[in-house]
Amino acid sequence: MGGLKATFGAIAQLTVWIAAAALCVLVGVLSWQVFGRYVLNQSPSWTEPVAMTMMGVAALFGAAIAVRAESHFAFPTLVESAPGPVRAALKALGRIIALLFGLALAVFGGFLMIDSWDVPMAGAPFPEGVANIGVCVGGALIALFALERLIFGDAPDPHLPSENVEA
């Protein structure tokens, strides 16, 4: 099981890096859009679809990491106020809901991505399907990390010192 935990940790680390890179690209693209519009008086047409794609990647990849840390789809007020056996059932229910929601995003995002791959993106030299990559892959990551929590239980508390801190 240690190898599986390490694999989940590596995927989570890569997810964080991709989300961070998408945020950096988003800031750069929006900065160029503002510069082009107000300084050059010629707004570039490609910036809006690229920014929307990067926002989708950053948001859904970040949501996947939050599912892994159980700070998203966790219903904390209800769960923490419940007695022990009910608390365990509510945590499992929240993880199952996150898993199903992630699968739905992955499947339907995949349909959107495939269906629109042959359509050119308005204003950018990419296929329209690229805009749905964040939904498809982010949904798959949400499902994957919800499954991780179903298999391994609670995420470690990042505020407590531990010798075996998960990646």
Three-state secondary structure of the chain:
CHHHHHHHHHHHHHHHHHHHHHHHHHHHHHHHHHHHHHCCCCCCCCHHHHHHHHHHHHHHHHHHHHHHCCCCCCCHHHHHHCCHHHHHHHHHHHHHHHHHHHHHHHHHHHHHHHHCCCCECCCCCCEHHHHHHHHHHHHHHHHHHHHHHHHHCCCCCCCCCCCCCCC
List of the chain residues with pLDDT < 70: 73, 158, 162-167
Instruction: Look at residue 106 in the predicted model and tell me its pLDDT.
Output: 98
**Cα distances (angstroms) measured from residue 153 to each of 50, 69, 144, 146, 147:** 37, 11, 14, 10, 10
Provide the 10 A C-beta neighbour count for residue 97. Answer: 13
Instruction: Look at residue 162 in the predicted model and tell me its pLDDT.
Output: 57
Instruction: Look at residue 100 in the predicted model and tell me its pLDDT.
Output: 97
**What sign does the dihedral 35-59-56-141 (CA atoms) show?**
positive
The answer as to whether 36 is a domain residue is yes
**What sign does the dihedral 141-66-91-133 (CA atoms) show?**
negative
The answer as to whether 113 is a domain residue is yes
Instruction: Look at residue 164 in the predicted model and tell me its pLDDT.
Output: 52
The answer as to whether 165 is a domain residue is no
**What sign does the dihedral 60-65-71-75 (CA atoms) show?**
positive
Instruction: Look at residue 167 in the predicted model and tell me its pLDDT.
Output: 46
What is the spatial distance between Cα 24 and Cα 64, in angstroms, rounded to a whole number? 18
Domain around 20: 2-152
Token pair 């990067």: residue: 54
pLDDT digits (tens, 9 = 90+) for 35-79: 999 999 998 999 999 999 999 999 999 999 999 998 876 777 888
How many independent structural domains does the chain possess? 1
Instruction: Look at residue 51 in the predicted model and tell me its pLDDT.
Output: 95
The answer as to whether 112 is a domain residue is yes
The answer as to whether 161 is a domain residue is no
What is the spatial distance between Cα 34 and Cα 167, in angstroms, rounded to a whole number? 37
